Structure 1
Amino acid sequence: MDPENAASPPAGITREDLFERVWTTPINHLAEKLGMNHYQFARICEALNVPRPPAGYWQKKAVGKEAPRPELPAALPGDHARWSKGTRLLAPLPKRVYRRVERKAADRPQRPARHPMLIGVDESFRKTRTDEKNEFLRPYKYLLPDIVASADHLSTALDIANEIYNALDLKGHRVMFAPADQEMRRRHVDEQEVPRKDRKYGRYQTGSIWSPRRPTVTYVGSIPVGLVLTEMTERVTMRYLDGSYVREDSKLVRSARPWQLTHSWTTEQDLPCGRFRFVAYCPLANIEWSASWQETDAAGLKSLVPSIVARLHGSEAELQALIDAEEKAAAKRRKEWAEAQERYRRQEDRRAVEQALSHSKKQLAEIMEQWAAATAVERFFVEAEKRLEHLGEDRREHIQSRLALARAMLGEQDPLSYLADWLAPDERYQTRYPDH
């Protein structure tokens, strides 16, 4: 294939093919052939983890001084393996921002660097569909880290997520959005701090909780693990006072006059409590695996980060065993499905064979009836013509004219023509299973 003239084939471009094209043809030319600009083409290379020639490469190559071509790096878990037109690419993560920090007092703690997944997301989370107090944020944007929090505790949530994401990255488990070209599902996470049979979240007990369009995942080896950080809810008694619901234990209720409480009432709701739960789960279909950590009075989530990382780091064998078992179960299901489909096709074939036989018998019975009627008509005319021989001249001519009119009205009665139109069962349907 000529790399310069080849457009994107219907099956797409593999990483290896893209790498070869990029290092044999300038990106501007390739982008033009694919109907895009060079910025879009660079995005594709970045998504497929394909290195591009450095600036000035082609000018140096023209005079024989180009830099040597690097090796194509191995694909990392989560990288796109193929690209074709219409494939959605992950938005590039913001680069880490490194700022020069002046020397400070040794006892002053250093704030950890913000993880690329969390740079600039605070504003996106706060652009929310609801500004109700004591409610979870419901941002308009859906491609955000899987973090569920109220406005009052969003900063705390981002700090906890930052600790966990950075710790996983340092251990070699990069945190990212689930690739758009891979089937991954986001697991439902219970937001109740104390599990209950009933759920009374939100106003009028109908509030919905935001969840992202694509899961946030890390990779343990090559196995994706979904990550969710959610603020928990607690059951709270709320009192309707002065046109809104407020907590029964709030200062406003405690300072209310007796006459104000006369026309008020209480209800129970599940409200964000400022404490958090972190859940890791397998986002692959039919793999039921999860691990959960939540804050307590004795330990905050940040103190549990080492145990979280250690649990995930050591879960590869456990997850792989579950995946292998699911693959066997899926193979068994596919086999059973194929066998069920084969049984259905055989039943339908048998039904079609029986239907063809029934229709052929019915048509043959109709032909016999038509045959009997046609032969009866023919016998009638033959018998009438025989009797004409014994009639006088005048009467014979009159009857002959009547017989001619009758024949003309009835037309030709050829019984064999009926049989020629008959269809045998095999002519109606050919069975696919000769053993039936």
Structure 2
Amino acid sequence: MAPEAASPEALKISREDLYEQVWVAPINHLAEKFGVSGSYLARVCSALNVPRPPLGYWQKKAVGKAAPRPELPAALPGDQLSWAKDKPLAAPVKKRVWRTVDRKAATKTARPARHPILIGVEESFRKSRTTEETEFLKPYKQLLPDIVASEARLARALDLANEIFSALDRKGHRVLIAPPDQEMHRIHVEERETPGKDRRYGRYQFGSIWSPRRPTVTYIGPMPIGLALTEMTERVTLRYLDGRYVRADSKLVQSAKPWQLTHSWTTEQDLPCGRFRFVAYSPLAGVDWTANWQETQTASMSTMVAAIVQKLESVEDELRALMRAAEEAAARRRREWEEAQERYRREEDQRRVAEALTESKKQLAGIMEKWAAATAVERFFLEAQSRVNEVEGERRAQLAERLALARSMVGALDPLAFLAEWLAPEERYKSKYGKSD
């Protein structure tokens, strides 16, 4: 009989638990328990860096010839530590590749290896939603490195990112897309070279800029640091000419005839300028830390790589202190919230106790009114019966018959029945906190 599929609440599993289970039952049988395919569960093992039995392991184990299982490797900073069926998997880590390019049809020269996180992403970046010629790319894919660039500057953006990521990698600091099982957020990255009061990016002056689904991070020790590379924008004067906006300082405008400019006008817009800003920040909630470096007309980002790495390596203690402060602030807010919830529960309890008392008194007052009415009716019939008994002859029989008819119309009137229906305050609601002082 096939094992029952786990409930949604039980689908979250740590890498330690997964490691134990994949060495107890074949992966296809275990996959049925989680309601996934065996191949997908194998991907889960790879994403969580969990070794699984090799091909033929269970046959060898049946005859006592299986090799001992390997140890579970220690998790590295940035590794996915748990998996749930409704959550995504971390992207597999790619190996570096060396590419060769033809230079003037001569000998083939090896280019520097791409950082694993950048392998194969250029094509994904170029598969972009339709944008204006002067706007940033908006790739359909969102699980990409945090790089924002125009199509004309994408190749250089990838080269700059490769320089920075590789420099961090050489120092032993992993660079990867944040794991899906850990809460990290991307901050807003300012794209304007000179931020001002207004923003005029995009055709309609308020265009949005692509951002990845999860931040790109590096780890300095155990501390994650978010990394973002963006091409900056500069305020440019555009002139409407030949049915489109072009830069006012372009050769097309400068060579235009006076009659061509008769029905022309200008506007200002923020356009990609070809220079880049690199932003490092804390992706952890409550930890407010950022640092950035930006190119100028005379200073290239390539010359800043060593300073970037040095700066990031120097902030571990600062980030630890900020994280501790954030954790203490979060714990304080949690305590305050719990105390507020407890006060609310107590106030609600007392409100319901008072409400029960009010309703009980109201019902009792109604019962007393009914009791008084019932006893008055009862006294009427007793008095009437006494007087009928004093009458003689045929009239007595007539009155007795009418009295019986009247009693039958009124029905039984038992005041004690009214009292039995009454609910005392504690029968309506019993306080969870006992009597208040």
Considering the TM-score relative to the shorter chain, is it more than 0.5?
Answer: yes
Question: What is the aligned partner in structure 2 of residue 195 from structure 1?
Answer: 195
Q: Compute the displacement of 1:30 (Å).
A: 5.5
- 1:394 is displaced (CA, Å) by 1.8
Deviation of 1:58 after TM superposition, in Å, equals: 7.4
Q: Using the TM superposition, give the Cα deviation of residue 393 of structure 1 relative to its aligned residue in structure 2, in angstroms.
A: 1.4
The one-character-per-residue Cα deviations of 1:130-170 (angstroms, maximum 9, x if unpaired) are: 24111010011111111000011111100000001111111
**Structure-1 separation of matches of 2:129 and 2:85:** 33
Cα deviation for residue 87 of structure 1 reads 3.8
Q: Return 5+ residue gaps in structure 1 as ranges.
A: 103-107
What is the CA–CA distance in structure 2 between the aligned matches of 1:181 and 1:256, rounded to whole Å?
Answer: 58
Q: 1:327 to 1:411 in 2, by over 3 A?
A: same
Distance 1:33 1:349 in 2: 44
Aligned equivalent of 2:125? 125
Compute the displacement of 1:109 (Å). 9.3
Does the alignment pair 1:433 with 2:433? yes
Decide whether the 8 Å contact of 2:12 with 2:85 is kept in 1.
yes
Residue-pair matches, total: 428
- CA spacing shift, 1:335–1:22, aligned 2, 3 Å: closer
Deviations along 1:179-212, whole A, 9 cap, x unmatched? 1111111111111100111111100112110001
Tell me which residue corresponds to 1:144: 144
What is the distance in 1 between the residues matched to 2:217 and 2:379? 91
Could you tell me how far apart the structure 2 residues matched to 1:133 and 1:126 are? 13
Please show how residues 368-379 of structure 1 align to structure 2 within 5 Å.
368-379=368-379
Q: More deviation in 154-163 or 48-57?
A: 48-57
- Does the 8 Å CA contact 1:48/1:82 hold for their aligned counterparts? yes
Q: Identify unmatched segments of 5+ residues in structure 2.
A: 103-107
**Farther off after superposition, 40-49 or 300-309:** 40-49
Q: Does 1:208 align with 2:208?
A: yes
Tell me if 1:250 matches 2:287: no
8 A Cα contact 2:11 2:85, kept in partner: no
Distance in 2 (CA, whole Å) between partners of 1:376 and 1:68 is: 94
Q: 1:167 to 1:67 in 2, by over 3 A?
A: farther
One-letter amino acid of the counterpart of residue 292, structure 1: N
Deviation at 1:373, TM superposition (A): 1.0
> Over residues 295-330 of structure 1, what are the superposed CA-to-partner deviations in whole Å (9 max), with x where a residue is unaligned?
112321111111111111121111111110011111
**2:333 is paired with a residue of what secondary structure?**
helix
Q: Does 1:342 align with 2:367?
A: no
Contact 2:11–2:84, Cα closer than 8 Å, also in 1: yes
Once the two structures are superposed, residues 49-77 of structure 1 have per-residue CA deviations (whole angstroms, 9 ceiling, x without a partner) of 23356677778889988766543321101
Alignment partners' CA distance in 1, 2:217 and 2:419: 73
- Deviation at 1:290? 0.9
Residue 46 of structure 1: aligned partner: 46
Code of the residue aligned with 1:170 in structure 2: it is: R
Correspondence 1:365 to 2:365: yes
The aligned counterpart of 1:114 is 114
Report the equivalent of 2:105: none
Report the Cα offset of residue 258 of structure 1: 2.2
Do 1:8 and 1:85's aligned partners in 2 also have CA atoms closer than 8 Å?
no
AA matched with 1:16: E
Q: Which residue of 2 is the match for residue 96 of structure 1?
A: 96
In the other structure, the counterpart of 1:382 is 382
Shift in Å at residue 110 of structure 1? 6.4
Q: Which residue of 2 aligns with 1:290?
A: 290
Q: Which residue of 2 aligns with 1:409?
A: 409
Aligned 8 A contact 2:80 2:90 in 1: no
- 1:245 Cα deviation after fit: 1.1
The change in CA–CA distance for 1:100 and 1:277 in structure 2 (over 3 A counts) is closer
Q: What CA distance in whole angstroms lies between the structure 1 residues aligned with 2:421 and 2:35?
A: 61
Separation (CA, whole Å) in 1 of partners of 2:4 and 2:399: 89
Amino acid at match of 1:273: C
Q: Which residue of 1 aligns with 2:262?
A: 262
Identity of aligned residues (%): 66
CA RMSD of aligned residues (A): 2.8
Measure the CA separation in 2 of the matches of 1:93 and 1:274. Answer: 30
Residues 29 and 381 from structure 1, CA distance in 2 versus in 1: closer, same or farther, beyond 3 angstroms? closer
TM-score (norm 2): 0.90
Partner of 1:105: none
How far the C-alpha of 1:257 sits from its partner, in A, is 2.2
